Chains A and B, each alone.
Chain A
Amino acid sequence: MSFDWSFIERNADVLIEGAKFTVSLTIFATICGIVFGTFLALMRLSKSKVASRFATAYVVFFRSVPLVQVLLIFYLFVPLLARLALDQRVAIGAETASYMAFAFFEAAYFAEIIRAGIRSVGPGQLNAALAIGLPKHQAMRYVVLPQAFLNVVPILLTQTIVLFQDVSLVYAIGALDFFGAAQRVVQIEYRPVEVYIFVAVVYFVICFTLSKLVMRLQTNLTKNLNQVGANT
Chain B
Amino acid sequence: MITLLNVQKAYGAIPVLKNVNVEIAAGEVVVVCGPSGSGKSTLIKTINALEPIQGGAITVDGKNLGESGTNLPKLRSRVGMVFQQFELFPTMNVIDNVNLGQLKVLKRSKSDATKRSMEVLTKVGLEEYAERFPANLSGGQQQRVAIARSLAMDPICMLFDEPTSALDPEMVNEVLDTMIELAKDGMSMVVVTHEMGFAKSVGTRVIFMDKGEIVEDSDKDEFFQKPKTERAQAFLNVIKHN
Contact = CB atoms under 8 A, between A and B. Distances in A.
B60 interface: no
Given A124-B83, A225-B133, A232-B168, A132 B91 contact: no
Q: Using C-beta atoms within 8 Å of the partner chain, give the interface range for chain B.
A: 35 or more
A232 to B, nearest CB: 6
Interface in A210-232: 224-229, 231-232
A133 B105 contact: yes
B135 A226 contact: yes
Contacts of B50: 127, 130-131
Contacts of A190: none
Nearest to B93: A224
A124 B85 contact: yes
B91 A227 contact: no
B87 A125 contact: yes
Contacts, number: 86
A133 B73 contact: yes
Interface string B108-146: 000000000000000000000000010111110000001
Contact of A131 (B76, B137, B138, B168): B76
A134 B136 contact: no
Contact of B91 (A127, A134, A225): A225
Contacts of A228: 135-136
Given A127-B50, A226-B135, A133 B91 contact: no
B91 to A, nearest CB: 5
B153 A225 contact: no
B3 interface: no
A229 B101 CA distance: 30
B52 to A, nearest CB: 11
Interface of B: 45, 48, 50, 73-74, 76-81, 83, 85, 87-91, 93, 100-101, 104-106, 133, 135-139, 146, 149-150, 153, 168
6 contacts: A124-B83, A131-B48, A133-B101, A133-B153, A224-B91, A224-B136
